Chain A
């Protein structure tokens, strides 16, 4: 079982819609969770971090964490063409971040 799994995508959404990205993880004692956005050919950029169960909102982004279900998600509201990228879920273990393979999102104008 992979440490961090994401829905494989690609995910195509129309402009203005909500994009929903999911991530599950295997290490039950993980304490911190991150979402990175990666444009093609570029390095990952941190967009959200979440440490407690529940929702965390930042602008058009909402991260949701459910530690009992070992599940973290990212919602992108009012999707824009500039949101077209690969989104990486990362989970912190003892000494490192474990990354999912990423979900590629395409926002159709």
Chain B
């Protein structure tokens, strides 16, 4: 089956810990994205990557880091510098940057700081 997978589904973090959220896609999509969603709010862009070995900060990158060593993988690390990390994290991908390309989401990871 083609699609986007995220793991884990639920993640609990202690204060001061770094955690890494996994995102994998087998759709052969070039572009990948990380969003954060807080209750009652829209999605906010954390980081995005258009090609392998390249990524750019989104609107709320502080306290997060990413890598794009393989086309199919775009992991997100939530560092201890992120002051309020409890949220629903969504990974997305799309074939390319053309305006007509549609963006699809993985199932999400719900992160809770204890």
Given known A42-B107, A44-B105, contact A88–B56 (CB-CB < 8 A): no
Asked if B64 is at the interface of the complex by the 8 Å CB criterion, the answer is no
Q: Which of B32-50 contact A (CB under 8 A)?
A: 33, 40-45, 48, 50
Q: Which of A38-87 contact B (CB under 8 A)?
A: 42-46, 49, 51
Chain A interface extent, by class? 20 to 34
Docked-complex contact B58 and A31, CB < 8 angstroms? no
Docked-complex contact B102 and A43, CB < 8 angstroms? no
Q: From the candidates B42, B50, B97, B99, name the one contacting A99 in the complex (CB within 8 A).
A: B42
How many chain B residues touch A (CB < 8 A): the figure is 22
Give the distance in Å from the alpha carbon of A49 to the alpha carbon of B106 in the complex: 18
Q: From the candidates B42, B58, B100, B103, name the one contacting A102 in the complex (CB within 8 A).
A: B42
Asked if B111 is at the interface of the complex by the 8 Å CB criterion, the answer is no
Q: Which of B7-21 contact A (CB under 8 A)?
A: none
**Tally of A-B Cβ pairs under 8 angstroms:** 48
Give the distance in Å from the alpha carbon of A45 to the alpha carbon of B107 in the complex: 10
What is the chain A residue whose CB lies nearest that of B91?
A43
Which chain A residues lie closer than 8 Å to B44 at the CB level? 99
Q: From the candidates B42, B90, B106, B108, name the one contacting A101 in the complex (CB within 8 A).
A: B42
Give the distance in Å from the alpha carbon of A100 to the alpha carbon of B44 in the complex: 10
Extra pairs beyond A95-B48, A96-B48, A97-B43 (4, CB < 8 Å)? A44-B90, A51-B100, A96-B58, A97-B103
Q: From the candidates A34, A43, A46, A102, name the one contacting B90 in the complex (CB within 8 A).
A: A43
Q: Which of A44, A45, A101 has the most CB of B within 10 A?
A: A44
Which chain B residues lie closer than 8 Å to A45 at the CB level? 105
Docked-complex contact B99 and A46, CB < 8 angstroms? no
Q: From the candidates B33, B42, B48, B100, name the one contacting A88 in the complex (CB within 8 A).
A: B42
What is the chain A residue whose CB lies nearest that of B31?
A95
